[in-house]
Structure 1
Amino acid sequence: MAAVKNSRHAEETPADAVSHVSVIKSKEDRIIDACKRKDIDELRDIAIASGGFLSDHLRSRAWPILLGSDADTTPDDESWRHLPRHRDEDQVKLDVDRSFVYYPNDNTQAQLEEKKSELSDLITQVLREQPYLCYFQGYHDICQVLLLALPPSLRGIAMSRLSVLRIRDFMLPTLAPAIAQLHLIPDLLGAVDAELWHHLSRNEPFFALADTLTMFAHNVQRYSDIARLFDALIAREQVFCLYVFTRIVLRRRAELLSHEEPDMLHFALSKLPPNLDLDAVIPEAARLFETHPPESLRAWRYISAASVLKTTRDVGALTRQSLRDGQVFFEKQVREMWWDEHRQKVTKVAWANRTLLLTILVGVSAIYLRKTSTWAGLVTWISRLGGG
Protein backbone atom coordinates (compact mmCIF):
# COMPACT_ATOMS: atom_id res chain seq x y z
CA MET A 1 0.00 0.00 0.00
CA ALA A 2 2.88 2.35 0.90
CA ALA A 3 4.45 1.65 -2.48
CA VAL A 4 1.19 2.54 -4.22
CA LYS A 5 0.91 5.78 -2.25
CA ASN A 6 4.51 6.69 -3.06
CA SER A 7 3.88 5.90 -6.73
CA ARG A 8 0.83 8.16 -6.82
CA HIS A 9 2.75 10.89 -5.04
CA ALA A 10 5.57 10.54 -7.53
CA GLU A 11 3.12 11.02 -10.40
CA GLU A 12 1.93 14.35 -8.98
CA THR A 13 5.20 16.24 -9.20
CA PRO A 14 5.51 20.04 -9.21
CA ALA A 15 6.70 19.80 -12.80
CA ASP A 16 3.49 18.02 -13.77
CA ALA A 17 1.43 20.68 -12.00
CA VAL A 18 3.30 23.45 -13.82
CA SER A 19 2.81 21.64 -17.14
CA HIS A 20 -0.94 21.27 -16.47
CA VAL A 21 -1.25 24.99 -15.67
CA SER A 22 0.65 25.80 -18.84
CA VAL A 23 -1.70 23.68 -20.96
CA ILE A 24 -4.77 25.32 -19.41
CA LYS A 25 -3.30 28.80 -19.92
CA SER A 26 -2.52 27.99 -23.54
CA LYS A 27 -6.09 26.84 -24.16
CA GLU A 28 -7.54 29.89 -22.41
CA ASP A 29 -5.47 32.12 -24.70
CA ARG A 30 -6.69 30.13 -27.70
CA ILE A 31 -10.35 30.59 -26.65
CA ILE A 32 -9.91 34.32 -26.05
CA ASP A 33 -8.16 34.77 -29.40
CA ALA A 34 -10.90 32.84 -31.24
CA CYS A 35 -13.54 34.99 -29.52
CA LYS A 36 -11.77 38.19 -30.51
CA ARG A 37 -11.68 37.05 -34.13
CA LYS A 38 -15.20 35.55 -33.91
CA ASP A 39 -13.77 32.42 -35.49
CA ILE A 40 -16.74 30.04 -35.43
CA ASP A 41 -14.79 27.09 -36.84
CA GLU A 42 -12.06 27.45 -34.22
CA LEU A 43 -14.62 27.69 -31.41
CA ARG A 44 -16.34 24.55 -32.73
CA ASP A 45 -13.05 22.66 -32.58
CA ILE A 46 -12.31 23.91 -29.06
CA ALA A 47 -15.80 22.97 -27.84
CA ILE A 48 -15.29 19.36 -28.95
CA ALA A 49 -11.80 19.04 -27.45
CA SER A 50 -11.19 18.03 -23.84
CA GLY A 51 -12.60 20.47 -21.30
CA GLY A 52 -14.60 22.53 -23.77
CA PHE A 53 -14.50 26.21 -22.88
CA LEU A 54 -13.10 25.45 -19.41
CA SER A 55 -14.96 28.04 -17.32
CA ASP A 56 -18.09 30.18 -17.16
CA HIS A 57 -15.94 33.27 -17.61
CA LEU A 58 -14.87 32.00 -21.03
CA ARG A 59 -18.33 30.62 -21.82
CA SER A 60 -19.75 34.10 -21.33
CA ARG A 61 -17.52 35.16 -24.22
CA ALA A 62 -17.89 32.13 -26.49
CA TRP A 63 -21.59 31.22 -26.18
CA PRO A 64 -22.96 34.64 -27.24
CA ILE A 65 -20.74 34.56 -30.35
CA LEU A 66 -21.94 31.07 -31.27
CA LEU A 67 -25.55 32.12 -30.68
CA GLY A 68 -25.09 35.35 -32.63
CA SER A 69 -26.09 37.40 -29.60
CA ASP A 70 -22.70 38.95 -28.78
CA ALA A 71 -23.58 42.31 -30.29
CA ASP A 72 -26.68 42.76 -28.12
CA THR A 73 -26.96 43.28 -24.38
CA THR A 74 -29.94 44.28 -22.23
CA PRO A 75 -28.42 45.62 -18.99
CA ASP A 76 -31.32 47.76 -17.78
CA ASP A 77 -34.18 46.96 -20.15
CA GLU A 78 -37.24 46.07 -18.09
CA SER A 79 -39.78 46.93 -20.79
CA TRP A 80 -40.80 43.27 -21.13
CA ARG A 81 -42.53 43.53 -17.72
CA HIS A 82 -45.16 45.78 -19.29
CA LEU A 83 -45.95 43.38 -22.13
CA PRO A 84 -49.10 41.21 -22.01
CA ARG A 85 -48.88 38.00 -19.99
CA HIS A 86 -47.98 34.89 -21.91
CA ARG A 87 -50.62 32.14 -21.82
CA ASP A 88 -48.17 29.65 -20.26
CA GLU A 89 -46.95 31.72 -17.31
CA ASP A 90 -48.87 29.68 -14.73
CA GLN A 91 -47.00 26.55 -15.82
CA VAL A 92 -43.73 28.48 -15.73
CA LYS A 93 -44.32 29.28 -12.06
CA LEU A 94 -44.93 25.61 -11.24
CA ASP A 95 -41.70 24.56 -12.94
CA VAL A 96 -39.61 27.35 -11.44
CA ASP A 97 -40.79 26.37 -7.96
CA ARG A 98 -39.12 22.96 -8.44
CA SER A 99 -35.97 24.21 -10.17
CA PHE A 100 -32.31 24.06 -9.04
CA VAL A 101 -32.70 20.55 -7.64
CA TYR A 102 -29.17 19.32 -8.38
CA TYR A 103 -27.12 22.51 -8.61
CA PRO A 104 -25.88 24.85 -7.34
CA ASN A 105 -25.46 22.88 -4.11
CA ASP A 106 -23.48 25.47 -2.17
CA ASN A 107 -26.14 28.18 -2.00
CA THR A 108 -28.24 29.16 0.98
CA GLN A 109 -32.02 28.91 0.73
CA ALA A 110 -32.19 32.69 0.33
CA GLN A 111 -29.72 32.54 -2.56
CA LEU A 112 -31.71 29.75 -4.23
CA GLU A 113 -34.90 31.77 -3.92
CA GLU A 114 -33.13 34.71 -5.57
CA LYS A 115 -32.02 32.47 -8.43
CA LYS A 116 -35.58 31.18 -8.84
CA SER A 117 -36.79 34.75 -9.11
CA GLU A 118 -34.15 35.46 -11.77
CA LEU A 119 -35.09 32.27 -13.62
CA SER A 120 -38.77 33.22 -13.61
CA ASP A 121 -37.89 36.66 -15.00
CA LEU A 122 -35.67 35.17 -17.73
CA ILE A 123 -38.31 32.72 -18.95
CA THR A 124 -41.10 35.29 -18.74
CA GLN A 125 -39.04 37.85 -20.66
CA VAL A 126 -38.41 35.42 -23.53
CA LEU A 127 -42.05 34.32 -23.73
CA ARG A 128 -43.51 37.83 -23.56
CA GLU A 129 -41.10 39.15 -26.18
CA GLN A 130 -41.78 36.12 -28.44
CA PRO A 131 -45.44 35.44 -27.55
CA TYR A 132 -45.92 32.97 -30.44
CA LEU A 133 -43.60 30.46 -28.72
CA CYS A 134 -45.20 27.65 -26.71
CA TYR A 135 -43.60 26.83 -23.38
CA PHE A 136 -42.76 23.17 -22.71
CA GLN A 137 -41.95 21.42 -19.45
CA GLY A 138 -38.19 21.12 -19.32
CA TYR A 139 -37.55 24.52 -20.89
CA HIS A 140 -36.68 25.82 -17.43
CA ASP A 141 -33.88 23.23 -17.20
CA ILE A 142 -32.19 24.77 -20.24
CA CYS A 143 -32.72 28.29 -18.91
CA GLN A 144 -31.10 27.31 -15.59
CA VAL A 145 -27.83 26.53 -17.37
CA LEU A 146 -27.67 29.84 -19.24
CA LEU A 147 -28.63 31.72 -16.09
CA LEU A 148 -25.73 30.18 -14.15
CA ALA A 149 -23.19 30.53 -16.97
CA LEU A 150 -23.92 34.02 -18.28
CA PRO A 151 -24.06 37.46 -16.62
CA PRO A 152 -27.49 39.14 -16.43
CA SER A 153 -26.84 41.49 -19.35
CA LEU A 154 -26.31 38.57 -21.75
CA ARG A 155 -29.00 36.13 -20.63
CA GLY A 156 -32.14 37.57 -22.23
CA ILE A 157 -30.94 37.88 -25.82
CA ALA A 158 -28.92 34.65 -25.64
CA MET A 159 -31.92 32.68 -24.39
CA SER A 160 -34.19 34.31 -26.96
CA ARG A 161 -31.89 33.32 -29.81
CA LEU A 162 -31.43 29.82 -28.41
CA SER A 163 -35.22 29.45 -28.16
CA VAL A 164 -36.16 30.86 -31.55
CA LEU A 165 -33.23 29.62 -33.63
CA ARG A 166 -32.00 26.44 -31.89
CA ILE A 167 -34.86 24.72 -30.02
CA ARG A 168 -37.79 26.21 -31.96
CA ASP A 169 -39.12 22.75 -32.92
CA PHE A 170 -39.85 22.09 -29.24
CA MET A 171 -41.80 25.34 -28.85
CA LEU A 172 -44.38 24.69 -31.57
CA PRO A 173 -48.06 24.03 -30.74
CA THR A 174 -47.41 20.26 -30.66
CA LEU A 175 -44.39 18.03 -30.10
CA ALA A 176 -44.84 16.26 -33.46
CA PRO A 177 -41.67 17.83 -34.98
CA ALA A 178 -39.68 16.95 -31.85
CA ILE A 179 -40.83 13.34 -32.09
CA ALA A 180 -39.97 13.27 -35.81
CA GLN A 181 -36.38 14.14 -34.88
CA LEU A 182 -36.13 11.05 -32.68
CA HIS A 183 -36.41 8.71 -35.66
CA LEU A 184 -32.91 9.75 -36.71
CA ILE A 185 -31.57 7.81 -33.70
CA PRO A 186 -32.68 4.33 -34.92
CA ASP A 187 -31.24 5.19 -38.34
CA LEU A 188 -27.89 6.03 -36.73
CA LEU A 189 -27.89 2.90 -34.58
CA GLY A 190 -28.76 0.75 -37.59
CA ALA A 191 -25.86 2.21 -39.54
CA VAL A 192 -23.36 1.49 -36.75
CA ASP A 193 -24.58 -1.55 -34.79
CA ALA A 194 -27.25 -3.69 -36.45
CA GLU A 195 -27.54 -6.06 -33.49
CA LEU A 196 -28.15 -3.30 -30.97
CA TRP A 197 -30.54 -1.54 -33.33
CA HIS A 198 -32.56 -4.74 -33.77
CA HIS A 199 -32.66 -5.24 -30.00
CA LEU A 200 -33.89 -1.68 -29.39
CA SER A 201 -36.30 -1.61 -32.32
CA ARG A 202 -39.03 -3.14 -30.16
CA ASN A 203 -39.31 0.30 -28.55
CA GLU A 204 -40.24 3.55 -30.26
CA PRO A 205 -37.45 6.12 -29.68
CA PHE A 206 -39.59 8.11 -27.23
CA PHE A 207 -37.03 7.18 -24.56
CA ALA A 208 -34.79 9.95 -25.95
CA LEU A 209 -37.41 12.70 -25.68
CA ALA A 210 -36.54 14.08 -22.23
CA ASP A 211 -32.82 14.36 -22.99
CA THR A 212 -33.08 15.77 -26.50
CA LEU A 213 -35.92 18.12 -25.52
CA THR A 214 -33.88 19.68 -22.70
CA MET A 215 -30.39 19.38 -24.24
CA PHE A 216 -29.72 16.82 -21.47
CA ALA A 217 -30.25 19.49 -18.78
CA HIS A 218 -33.12 17.57 -17.17
CA ASN A 219 -31.08 14.46 -16.32
CA VAL A 220 -27.45 15.57 -15.96
CA GLN A 221 -26.94 16.18 -12.25
CA ARG A 222 -23.57 17.98 -12.09
CA TYR A 223 -23.31 21.57 -13.27
CA SER A 224 -19.74 21.08 -14.50
CA ASP A 225 -20.98 18.27 -16.75
CA ILE A 226 -23.98 20.06 -18.22
CA ALA A 227 -22.02 23.29 -18.79
CA ARG A 228 -19.29 21.33 -20.57
CA LEU A 229 -21.92 19.51 -22.66
CA PHE A 230 -23.59 22.81 -23.57
CA ASP A 231 -20.22 23.97 -24.91
CA ALA A 232 -20.46 21.31 -27.61
CA LEU A 233 -24.23 21.53 -28.20
CA ILE A 234 -24.16 25.30 -28.67
CA ALA A 235 -21.06 25.15 -30.86
CA ARG A 236 -22.44 22.47 -33.16
CA GLU A 237 -25.54 21.96 -35.30
CA GLN A 238 -28.76 21.31 -33.38
CA VAL A 239 -28.85 17.75 -34.75
CA PHE A 240 -25.59 17.07 -32.89
CA CYS A 241 -27.64 16.49 -29.73
CA LEU A 242 -29.02 13.31 -31.34
CA TYR A 243 -25.52 12.12 -32.14
CA VAL A 244 -24.45 12.60 -28.52
CA PHE A 245 -27.46 10.59 -27.34
CA THR A 246 -26.66 7.83 -29.83
CA ARG A 247 -23.04 7.62 -28.68
CA ILE A 248 -24.19 7.30 -25.06
CA VAL A 249 -26.49 4.44 -26.11
CA LEU A 250 -23.66 2.71 -28.00
CA ARG A 251 -21.40 2.97 -24.94
CA ARG A 252 -24.07 1.12 -22.92
CA ARG A 253 -24.29 -1.71 -25.44
CA ALA A 254 -23.65 -4.64 -23.07
CA GLU A 255 -26.03 -3.30 -20.43
CA LEU A 256 -28.83 -2.69 -22.92
CA LEU A 257 -28.49 -6.07 -24.60
CA SER A 258 -28.95 -7.69 -21.19
CA HIS A 259 -32.50 -6.26 -20.91
CA GLU A 260 -35.08 -8.46 -22.61
CA GLU A 261 -38.32 -6.87 -21.40
CA PRO A 262 -39.34 -3.80 -23.48
CA ASP A 263 -40.49 -1.93 -20.35
CA MET A 264 -37.17 -2.46 -18.58
CA LEU A 265 -35.30 -1.50 -21.73
CA HIS A 266 -37.31 1.72 -22.07
CA PHE A 267 -36.66 2.56 -18.40
CA ALA A 268 -32.91 2.00 -18.81
CA LEU A 269 -32.76 4.13 -21.95
CA SER A 270 -34.68 6.94 -20.26
CA LYS A 271 -31.99 7.33 -17.58
CA LEU A 272 -28.49 8.60 -18.22
CA PRO A 273 -25.53 6.81 -16.61
CA PRO A 274 -24.46 8.67 -13.44
CA ASN A 275 -20.87 9.14 -14.58
CA LEU A 276 -20.70 10.28 -18.18
CA ASP A 277 -17.22 10.55 -19.65
CA LEU A 278 -18.13 13.59 -21.72
CA ASP A 279 -14.59 14.24 -22.89
CA ALA A 280 -14.81 10.83 -24.59
CA VAL A 281 -18.49 10.91 -25.63
CA ILE A 282 -18.37 14.29 -27.36
CA PRO A 283 -15.42 13.56 -29.73
CA GLU A 284 -16.99 10.14 -30.45
CA ALA A 285 -20.24 11.88 -31.39
CA ALA A 286 -18.30 14.24 -33.67
CA ARG A 287 -16.67 11.29 -35.45
CA LEU A 288 -20.07 9.59 -35.78
CA PHE A 289 -21.37 12.78 -37.36
CA GLU A 290 -18.53 12.78 -39.90
CA THR A 291 -19.00 9.13 -40.90
CA HIS A 292 -22.82 9.24 -40.94
CA PRO A 293 -23.97 12.83 -41.62
CA PRO A 294 -27.69 13.50 -41.18
CA GLU A 295 -28.28 13.64 -44.94
CA SER A 296 -27.33 9.95 -45.14
CA LEU A 297 -30.12 8.92 -42.75
CA ARG A 298 -33.49 7.77 -44.10
CA ALA A 299 -35.55 9.82 -41.63
CA TRP A 300 -33.79 13.06 -42.65
CA ARG A 301 -35.99 13.38 -45.75
CA TYR A 302 -39.07 13.61 -43.51
CA ILE A 303 -37.70 16.53 -41.50
CA SER A 304 -39.24 19.87 -42.47
CA ALA A 305 -37.00 22.33 -44.32
CA ALA A 306 -38.08 24.86 -41.66
CA SER A 307 -36.96 22.60 -38.79
CA VAL A 308 -34.06 23.76 -36.65
CA LEU A 309 -32.23 20.60 -37.68
CA LYS A 310 -31.97 21.99 -41.20
CA THR A 311 -31.91 25.74 -40.55
CA THR A 312 -28.96 25.29 -38.14
CA ARG A 313 -27.09 22.89 -40.43
CA ASP A 314 -24.55 25.69 -40.95
CA VAL A 315 -23.64 27.20 -37.57
CA GLY A 316 -22.01 30.17 -39.28
CA ALA A 317 -25.26 30.96 -41.10
CA LEU A 318 -27.15 30.56 -37.83
CA THR A 319 -25.22 33.42 -36.24
CA ARG A 320 -26.50 35.69 -39.03
CA GLN A 321 -30.15 34.69 -38.64
CA SER A 322 -32.45 37.14 -36.89
CA LEU A 323 -35.25 36.51 -34.44
CA ARG A 324 -37.60 37.52 -37.24
CA ASP A 325 -36.10 34.78 -39.43
CA GLY A 326 -36.86 32.30 -36.67
CA GLN A 327 -40.45 33.49 -36.44
CA VAL A 328 -40.87 33.01 -40.20
CA PHE A 329 -39.58 29.43 -39.88
CA PHE A 330 -41.94 28.91 -36.94
CA GLU A 331 -44.96 30.10 -38.90
CA LYS A 332 -44.01 27.91 -41.88
CA GLN A 333 -43.83 24.85 -39.63
CA VAL A 334 -47.20 25.67 -38.08
CA ARG A 335 -48.76 25.84 -41.56
CA GLU A 336 -47.16 22.53 -42.49
CA MET A 337 -48.48 20.94 -39.30
CA TRP A 338 -51.98 22.29 -39.96
CA TRP A 339 -52.02 20.94 -43.52
CA ASP A 340 -50.65 17.59 -42.40
CA GLU A 341 -53.31 17.32 -39.70
CA HIS A 342 -56.00 18.34 -42.19
CA ARG A 343 -54.76 15.78 -44.73
CA GLN A 344 -54.79 13.01 -42.12
CA LYS A 345 -58.37 13.88 -41.13
CA VAL A 346 -59.52 13.89 -44.76
CA THR A 347 -57.77 10.59 -45.41
CA LYS A 348 -59.33 9.05 -42.30
CA VAL A 349 -62.83 10.19 -43.27
CA ALA A 350 -62.34 9.04 -46.86
CA TRP A 351 -61.16 5.59 -45.75
CA ALA A 352 -64.02 5.23 -43.30
CA ASN A 353 -66.48 6.03 -46.13
CA ARG A 354 -64.61 4.28 -48.93
CA THR A 355 -67.57 2.05 -49.90
CA LEU A 356 -69.89 5.03 -50.39
CA LEU A 357 -67.25 7.00 -52.30
CA LEU A 358 -66.49 4.09 -54.60
CA THR A 359 -70.19 3.52 -55.23
CA ILE A 360 -70.59 7.18 -56.23
CA LEU A 361 -67.50 6.93 -58.43
CA VAL A 362 -68.88 3.86 -60.20
CA GLY A 363 -72.29 5.44 -60.66
CA VAL A 364 -70.97 8.71 -62.08
CA SER A 365 -68.51 6.90 -64.35
CA ALA A 366 -71.23 4.64 -65.72
CA ILE A 367 -73.08 7.66 -67.08
CA TYR A 368 -70.17 8.61 -69.32
CA LEU A 369 -68.64 5.26 -70.18
CA ARG A 370 -70.13 2.52 -72.27
CA LYS A 371 -70.71 -0.67 -70.36
CA THR A 372 -68.38 -2.94 -72.25
CA SER A 373 -67.39 -6.27 -70.78
CA THR A 374 -64.04 -4.75 -69.76
CA TRP A 375 -65.73 -1.89 -67.92
CA ALA A 376 -68.16 -4.28 -66.24
CA GLY A 377 -65.23 -6.31 -64.94
CA LEU A 378 -63.55 -3.18 -63.63
CA VAL A 379 -66.74 -2.14 -61.86
CA THR A 380 -66.97 -5.54 -60.19
CA TRP A 381 -63.33 -5.30 -59.02
CA ILE A 382 -63.81 -1.79 -57.61
CA SER A 383 -66.99 -2.88 -55.81
CA ARG A 384 -65.18 -5.77 -54.20
CA LEU A 385 -62.36 -3.46 -53.14
CA GLY A 386 -64.81 -1.09 -51.51
CA GLY A 387 -66.54 -3.91 -49.68
CA GLY A 388 -63.19 -5.25 -48.36
Structure 2
Amino acid sequence: MKNELNHAKNIDDISTPSEFKFDEDFEFEDPDVTAKRKEIEKYLENPDFVNVEQWQSIAKSKGGLITDEYRRRIWPLLVGVIQDEMTDPPSLDELSTHIKYNQVELDVKRSLKRFPPGIPYEQRVALQDQLTVLILRVIIEYPHLKYYDDIAITLLLVCGDRASFPLLCRLSYGPKAP
Protein backbone atom coordinates (compact mmCIF):
# COMPACT_ATOMS: atom_id res chain seq x y z
CA MET A 1 0.00 0.00 0.00
CA LYS A 2 1.33 3.39 -0.93
CA ASN A 3 2.18 5.65 2.00
CA GLU A 4 -0.37 8.46 2.36
CA LEU A 5 2.39 11.07 2.41
CA ASN A 6 3.00 10.37 -1.25
CA HIS A 7 -0.64 10.90 -2.20
CA ALA A 8 0.21 13.28 -5.01
CA LYS A 9 2.34 12.87 -8.07
CA ASN A 10 5.34 15.05 -8.62
CA ILE A 11 3.98 18.23 -10.18
CA ASP A 12 6.43 17.77 -13.05
CA ASP A 13 4.60 14.50 -13.84
CA ILE A 14 1.25 16.30 -13.90
CA SER A 15 2.24 19.43 -15.69
CA THR A 16 5.41 21.24 -16.51
CA PRO A 17 5.74 24.56 -14.70
CA SER A 18 5.41 26.33 -18.06
CA GLU A 19 1.83 25.05 -18.37
CA PHE A 20 0.88 27.48 -15.60
CA LYS A 21 0.35 30.47 -17.88
CA PHE A 22 1.12 33.60 -15.88
CA ASP A 23 2.83 35.42 -18.70
CA GLU A 24 0.93 37.93 -20.73
CA ASP A 25 -0.05 37.18 -24.27
CA PHE A 26 2.46 38.97 -26.47
CA GLU A 27 0.34 39.26 -29.59
CA PHE A 28 0.47 43.08 -29.26
CA GLU A 29 3.91 43.26 -27.72
CA ASP A 30 5.94 46.47 -27.43
CA PRO A 31 8.58 46.56 -30.22
CA ASP A 32 11.33 47.03 -27.60
CA VAL A 33 10.23 43.87 -25.84
CA THR A 34 10.14 42.00 -29.15
CA ALA A 35 13.73 43.11 -29.82
CA LYS A 36 14.67 42.04 -26.31
CA ARG A 37 13.07 38.64 -26.87
CA LYS A 38 15.25 38.16 -29.97
CA GLU A 39 18.33 39.19 -28.00
CA ILE A 40 17.50 36.71 -25.22
CA GLU A 41 16.97 33.92 -27.76
CA LYS A 42 20.32 34.72 -29.39
CA TYR A 43 22.09 34.61 -26.02
CA LEU A 44 20.38 31.38 -24.98
CA GLU A 45 21.49 29.76 -28.24
CA ASN A 46 25.09 30.85 -27.57
CA PRO A 47 25.46 30.91 -23.76
CA ASP A 48 29.27 31.04 -23.94
CA PHE A 49 29.06 34.54 -25.43
CA VAL A 50 27.09 36.14 -22.57
CA ASN A 51 28.18 36.83 -19.00
CA VAL A 52 26.32 37.36 -15.74
CA GLU A 53 26.50 41.15 -16.06
CA GLN A 54 24.77 40.98 -19.46
CA TRP A 55 22.02 38.76 -18.05
CA GLN A 56 21.62 41.17 -15.12
CA SER A 57 21.34 44.09 -17.50
CA ILE A 58 18.65 42.31 -19.51
CA ALA A 59 16.77 41.31 -16.35
CA LYS A 60 16.79 44.91 -15.06
CA SER A 61 15.71 46.52 -18.34
CA LYS A 62 12.17 47.14 -19.58
CA GLY A 63 10.10 43.96 -19.53
CA GLY A 64 12.50 42.07 -17.26
CA LEU A 65 13.05 38.51 -18.43
CA ILE A 66 9.66 38.64 -20.17
CA THR A 67 8.39 35.07 -19.64
CA ASP A 68 8.60 32.24 -17.14
CA GLU A 69 10.27 30.10 -19.81
CA TYR A 70 13.12 32.60 -19.97
CA ARG A 71 13.20 32.96 -16.16
CA ARG A 72 13.42 29.17 -15.79
CA ARG A 73 16.51 29.14 -17.99
CA ILE A 74 18.16 32.40 -16.90
CA TRP A 75 17.64 32.54 -13.11
CA PRO A 76 20.08 29.67 -12.53
CA LEU A 77 22.64 31.48 -14.70
CA LEU A 78 22.19 34.69 -12.71
CA VAL A 79 23.03 33.05 -9.40
CA GLY A 80 25.59 30.54 -10.64
CA VAL A 81 23.62 27.31 -10.30
CA ILE A 82 25.01 24.60 -12.56
CA GLN A 83 23.22 21.60 -14.04
CA ASP A 84 24.94 19.15 -11.64
CA GLU A 85 23.29 20.91 -8.70
CA MET A 86 19.82 20.35 -10.12
CA THR A 87 19.22 16.96 -8.58
CA ASP A 88 16.05 15.02 -7.96
CA PRO A 89 14.63 15.84 -4.54
CA PRO A 90 14.14 13.22 -1.86
CA SER A 91 10.62 11.93 -1.33
CA LEU A 92 8.26 13.41 1.20
CA ASP A 93 8.41 10.06 3.01
CA GLU A 94 12.16 10.42 3.48
CA LEU A 95 11.75 13.85 5.04
CA SER A 96 8.61 13.20 7.09
CA THR A 97 10.61 12.20 10.17
CA HIS A 98 12.51 15.49 10.31
CA ILE A 99 11.92 17.43 13.53
CA LYS A 100 10.61 20.48 11.59
CA TYR A 101 8.33 18.49 9.28
CA ASN A 102 5.03 19.20 11.07
CA GLN A 103 5.75 22.92 11.36
CA VAL A 104 6.73 23.19 7.70
CA GLU A 105 3.64 21.27 6.66
CA LEU A 106 1.44 23.69 8.64
CA ASP A 107 3.22 26.69 7.14
CA VAL A 108 2.77 25.32 3.63
CA LYS A 109 -0.95 24.76 4.22
CA ARG A 110 -1.24 28.38 5.37
CA SER A 111 0.51 29.53 2.21
CA LEU A 112 -2.35 28.47 -0.09
CA LYS A 113 -3.14 32.10 -0.91
CA ARG A 114 0.25 32.32 -2.67
CA PHE A 115 -0.63 29.49 -5.04
CA PRO A 116 -1.95 30.29 -8.51
CA PRO A 117 -5.71 30.95 -8.49
CA GLY A 118 -7.74 28.19 -10.06
CA ILE A 119 -5.00 25.58 -9.81
CA PRO A 120 -6.56 22.09 -10.05
CA TYR A 121 -6.70 20.15 -6.78
CA GLU A 122 -4.27 17.43 -7.88
CA GLN A 123 -1.69 20.00 -8.95
CA ARG A 124 -2.15 22.04 -5.77
CA VAL A 125 -1.56 18.97 -3.59
CA ALA A 126 1.53 18.03 -5.62
CA LEU A 127 2.80 21.59 -5.37
CA GLN A 128 2.24 21.66 -1.60
CA ASP A 129 4.20 18.44 -1.25
CA GLN A 130 7.03 19.80 -3.39
CA LEU A 131 7.07 23.04 -1.41
CA THR A 132 7.30 21.06 1.84
CA VAL A 133 10.21 19.05 0.45
CA LEU A 134 11.95 22.18 -0.86
CA ILE A 135 11.74 24.03 2.46
CA LEU A 136 12.85 20.98 4.46
CA ARG A 137 15.83 20.48 2.15
CA VAL A 138 16.95 24.05 2.74
CA ILE A 139 16.45 23.71 6.51
CA ILE A 140 18.49 20.48 6.51
CA GLU A 141 21.28 22.02 4.41
CA TYR A 142 21.37 25.30 6.35
CA PRO A 143 19.74 24.79 9.77
CA HIS A 144 20.42 28.38 10.85
CA LEU A 145 18.43 29.88 7.95
CA LYS A 146 14.82 30.89 8.02
CA TYR A 147 12.75 30.43 4.91
CA TYR A 148 10.12 32.38 3.09
CA ASP A 149 7.48 30.30 1.37
CA ASP A 150 6.52 33.05 -1.08
CA ILE A 151 10.03 33.01 -2.57
CA ALA A 152 10.12 29.21 -2.48
CA ILE A 153 6.74 28.89 -4.19
CA THR A 154 7.78 31.35 -6.90
CA LEU A 155 10.97 29.41 -7.62
CA LEU A 156 9.07 26.12 -7.59
CA LEU A 157 6.38 27.38 -9.97
CA VAL A 158 8.82 28.94 -12.40
CA CYS A 159 11.80 26.58 -12.27
CA GLY A 160 10.43 23.25 -11.01
CA ASP A 161 11.61 21.11 -8.12
CA ARG A 162 15.08 20.22 -9.43
CA ALA A 163 16.28 23.80 -9.92
CA SER A 164 14.40 25.46 -7.06
CA PHE A 165 16.52 23.89 -4.30
CA PRO A 166 19.94 25.14 -5.46
CA LEU A 167 18.38 28.47 -6.42
CA LEU A 168 16.80 28.96 -3.00
CA CYS A 169 20.02 27.91 -1.25
CA ARG A 170 22.06 30.32 -3.37
CA LEU A 171 19.64 33.18 -2.79
CA SER A 172 19.53 32.48 0.93
CA TYR A 173 23.18 31.77 1.59
CA GLY A 174 25.18 33.25 -1.27
CA PRO A 175 27.70 31.69 -3.63
CA LYS A 176 28.54 28.04 -3.14
CA ALA A 177 31.95 27.46 -1.61
CA PRO A 178 34.50 26.10 -4.10
Task: Specify if TM > 0.5.
Answer: yes
The 1-side partners of 2:31 and 2:149 are apart by 37
* Cα distance, 1:83 vs structure 2: 7.1
* Cα distance, 1:23 vs structure 2: 3.8
| Residues 89, 133 of structure 2: 8 Å contact kept | no
* Aligned match for 1:91, one of 103, 118, 127: 103
TM-score, with length taken from structure 1: 0.34
The 1-side partners of 2:77 and 2:168 are apart by 13
The 2-side partners of 1:90 and 1:54 are apart by 37
SS in 1 for 2:111: coil
Tell me which residue corresponds to 2:146: 135
The 2-side partners of 1:84 and 1:131 are apart by 18
The 1-side partners of 2:39 and 2:58 are apart by 8
* Cα distance, 1:131 vs structure 2: 4.2
Aligned Cα root-mean-square deviation (Å): 3.0
* Aligned match for 1:39, one of 40, 43, 51: 51
Work out the number of aligned pairs and report it: 150
Please say if 1:26 is aligned against 2:35: yes
CA pair 34-40 structure 1, distance change in 2 beyond 3 A = farther
Tell me which residue corresponds to 1:196: none
The 2-side partners of 1:22 and 1:94 are apart by 46
- Output the amino acid matched with 1:115: L
* Cα distance, 1:84 vs structure 2: 9.6
- Output the amino acid matched with 1:65: L
* Aligned match for 1:158, one of 148, 167, 177: 167
The 1-side partners of 2:92 and 2:173 are apart by 17
CA pair 81-68 structure 1, distance change in 2 beyond 3 A = farther
- Output the amino acid matched with 2:166: I
- Output the amino acid matched with 1:27: K
Tell me which residue corresponds to 2:117: 105
TM-score, with length taken from structure 2: 0.69
* Aligned match for 1:57, one of 62, 66, 69: 69
| Residues 34, 42 of structure 1: 8 Å contact kept | no
SS in 2 for 1:25: helix
The 1-side partners of 2:50 and 2:84 are apart by 15
| Residues 134, 164 of structure 2: 8 Å contact kept | yes
CA pair 38-154 structure 1, distance change in 2 beyond 3 A = farther
* Cα distance, 1:85 vs structure 2: 5.4
* Cα distance, 1:67 vs structure 2: 1.1
Q: What CA deviation, in whole Å up to 9, does each residue of 1:99-124 have, x standing for no partner?
A: 13044012123321221111111111
CA pair 92-38 structure 1, distance change in 2 beyond 3 A = farther
The 1-side partners of 2:96 and 2:27 are apart by 56
SS in 1 for 2:113: coil
* Cα distance, 1:56 vs structure 2: 0.7
The 2-side partners of 1:50 and 1:21 are apart by 10
Q: What CA deviation, in whole Å up to 9, does each residue of 1:4-41 have, x standing for no partner?
A: xxxxxxxxxxxxx9883654332122223445134212
- Output the amino acid matched with 2:149: H
SS in 2 for 1:20: coil
Q: What CA deviation, in whole Å up to 9, does each residue of 1:173-224 have, x standing for no partner?
A: xxxxxxxxxxxxxxxxxxxxxxxxxxxxxxxxxxxxxxxxxxxxxxxxxxxx
More helix by share: 1
* Cα distance, 1:68 vs structure 2: 0.7
Ranges in structure 2 where 5+ consecutive residues have no aligned partner? 1-25
The 2-side partners of 1:82 and 1:103 are apart by 25
CA pair 19-76 structure 1, distance change in 2 beyond 3 A = closer
Ranges in structure 1 where 5+ consecutive residues have no aligned partner? 1-16, 166-320, 326-388
- Output the amino acid matched with 1:104: P
The 2-side partners of 1:145 and 1:151 are apart by 9
| Residues 71, 159 of structure 2: 8 Å contact kept | yes
Structure having the higher Rg: 1
The 1-side partners of 2:124 and 2:70 are apart by 24
- Output the amino acid matched with 1:134: L
SS in 2 for 1:99: helix
